[in-house]
Structure 1
Amino acid sequence: MDKLQQIVSQFIGDDANMEIKPLGKGHINDSYKVIAGDKEYVLQRINHHIFKNVHQLQDNIQRVTEHIRKKLTGQGIIDVDRRVLTLVPTFDGALYYQDTTGDYWRVMDFIKESKSYDEINPELAYRAGMAFGDFQKMLADLPGEPLFETIPNFHNMEARLETFREAVKANKAGRLDKVAELVKEIEDRAEEMCKAEKLHREGKLPKRINHCDTKVNNILFDKNDQVLCVVDLDTVMPGYVLSDFGDFIRTGANTGAEDDKNLDNVSVDLDIFEAYAKGYLKNAAPFLSEVEVENLAFGAKLLTYMQTVRFFTDYIDGDTYYKIAYPEHNLVRTEAQFKLLQSLEENFEKMQQIVRKNYYLCTALF
């Protein structure tokens, strides 16, 4: 029995005919598809260098998936096992297994006849909006203590700026002279971009359960392109709804690539923005506060600014965090994200009008 079979056996027992093959191209965890008789599973090695508390991580996912399962069952949904992830415990009842080399592993049921998309269009954006809106709505009343923060300060702009300023001060790679103008652009926006943290301290902006990686490829669709469920729950933790909304727009509504060298390619696609906002508000409008609604479009600016700062920080530090394909890659990423931010700023009033119009249409139905 090879190593992977030995690991899987901790969850489902021995099976001489077990098949295990690589699955997908995840950036964080290594994934495998397991076929054992008529059952199929997903085996994942959890990257414990990023997710340092695996016990709390798995507890988060268990709480979230069990709560969604109860909600779906209560709604009379028949194919519940295709509509929410199912963790498979070890024979000892644990939600993960640590092997002899210190790596952590988990097993989930494989959702058959499902697919995901990397490309986006308005129809998929609309359905993705409904999916993430529904995901937040179902978890808005999760009982018990707040979820564990699997990556501390992940979407905390104040913390990101603190790290950025430390990098500027240290200037480890000696690159500051050529980017001084861009540093000023970052600082000119800093106060506005810390608005969410300020509103939270004033008690005006609540923290809710966020997905924190709202890309279209984190949604499974059936053969008819109907949403099955939201996946990749490692970063599910407390946050501001505007962050989840904004992160989808940052990745999904960009007409260019995240590292586009031709900045003329980069702008916000308002058709994608409107489709996502319409789908999201269709499900999320009932539980959102007015402050949250008024700041959804701001979330798109915030998350794009945040990613600009993250790429820029790494460039100034000498490329120690993100993988790069060539020496100036992080600067190219920084400039492309900044160009998207400028497009979002130019279109901000249109985006606000889109959100307000769709919020009004949705709330008029209740």
Structure 2
Amino acid sequence: MENIAVIANQFKPQGQVISIQEYGNGNINHTFLITLDTEGEKYFILQRINTQVFRQPELVMGNMRTITEHIHQRLQHTSLNQERLWKMPRVLLTQDAQDYWIEPKGEFWRAISFIDASQSFDTIQDTKHAQEIGYGLGMFHNLINDLPTEKLADTLEGFHITPGYLRHYEQVLAKTKITKSPEVEYCLQFVSDRSSWANVLEKAKEQGVVPLRPI
């Protein structure tokens, strides 16, 4: 963990690092909770970005900074936050005012503030829990609904474009000798029955029925 402490110190913590522990159950990025010996903000999150998934991590951080700054500004000038407490992490900057740090071996790191007493869940516990998740998602969408899409970069180009996946599936299917079974037949039929739906959202976007928005 000594190397992690060195990396954590790149983000100008207000105190000495006294504890490092792996945090959460994410399967893409590697996350650590950093504890400091300070009376102020005692914790922050340090995260190594998986550059095999996010090939342009600088764009990821640009988006994150744009969104978090936009939300903080909205919360200062909106009544949305009066009934219930709403907090958003802040992107922490390095000693040279960058929103990420690249380790000598090429690893890409970022840091964000930690919201005390917050919890992360892998599964929904009950209906009230589901309601809270819906509230949180709705609040997030409300806070970014006026954020111009041109301020955001597409960090995983084509990731949400269903017709692209269908084309790839059809290309692979045409070149593959399939061993038939009830399970395979079911899957083939499942895709075939729904293939006409694949272009619905893209067509709606092209026709102006569905506006382009951050999600």
TM-score, shorter chain, exceeding 0.5: yes
- The equivalent of 2:118 in structure 1 is 114
Task: Give, as a single letter, the amino acid of the residue that structure 2 aligns with 1:26.
Answer: G
Displacement, 1:14?
Answer: 9.2
Q: Classify the secondary structure of the residue corresponding to 1:145.
A: helix
- The equivalent of 1:33 in structure 2 is 33
Task: Give, as a single letter, the amino acid of the residue that structure 1 aligns with 2:31.
Answer: S
Rounded to whole Å, the distance in 1 between the matches of 2:206 and 2:146 is 21
Instruction: Provide structure 1 residue ranges, at least 5 long, that are not aligned to the other structure.
Output: 211-366
Displacement, 1:123?
Answer: 1.6
Rounded to whole Å, the distance in 1 between the matches of 2:86 and 2:145 is 22
Rounded to whole Å, the distance in 2 between the matches of 1:53 and 1:201 is 27
Rounded to whole Å, the distance in 1 between the matches of 2:137 and 2:175 is 40
Q: Classify the secondary structure of the residue corresponding to 2:89.
A: coil
Classify 1:7/1:60 alpha carbon distance in 2 versus 1 (closer, same or farther; 3 Å): same
Rounded to whole Å, the distance in 2 between the matches of 1:147 and 1:187 is 35
- The equivalent of 2:4 in structure 1 is 4
Classify 1:175/1:19 alpha carbon distance in 2 versus 1 (closer, same or farther; 3 Å): farther
For 1:169-318, what aligned pairs fall within 5 Å after superposition? 169-171=174-176, 175-178=178-181, 179-210=184-215
Displacement, 1:177?
Answer: 2.6
- The equivalent of 2:60 in structure 1 is 57
TM-score (norm 1): 0.52
% of aligned pairs identical? 26
Task: Give, as a single letter, the amino acid of the residue that structure 2 aligns with 1:10.
Answer: Q
Query: What is the RMSD of the two structures over their aligned residues, measured on CA atoms?
Result: 2.4
> Of Structure 1 and Structure 2, which has the larger fraction of its residues in helix?
1
Task: Give, as a single letter, the amino acid of the residue that structure 2 aligns with 1:21.
Answer: Q
Rounded to whole Å, the distance in 2 between the matches of 1:184 and 1:151 is 29
Classify 1:24/1:134 alpha carbon distance in 2 versus 1 (closer, same or farther; 3 Å): same
Classify 1:96/1:156 alpha carbon distance in 2 versus 1 (closer, same or farther; 3 Å): same
- The equivalent of 1:147 in structure 2 is 152
Displacement, 1:180?
Answer: 3.7
- The equivalent of 1:84 in structure 2 is 88
Instruction: Provide structure 2 residue ranges, at least 5 long, that are not aligned to the other structure.
Output: none
TM-score (norm 2): 0.87
Rounded to whole Å, the distance in 2 between the matches of 1:176 and 1:47 is 36
Displacement, 1:169?
Answer: 2.2
Task: Give, as a single letter, the amino acid of the residue that structure 1 aligns with 2:75.
Answer: L
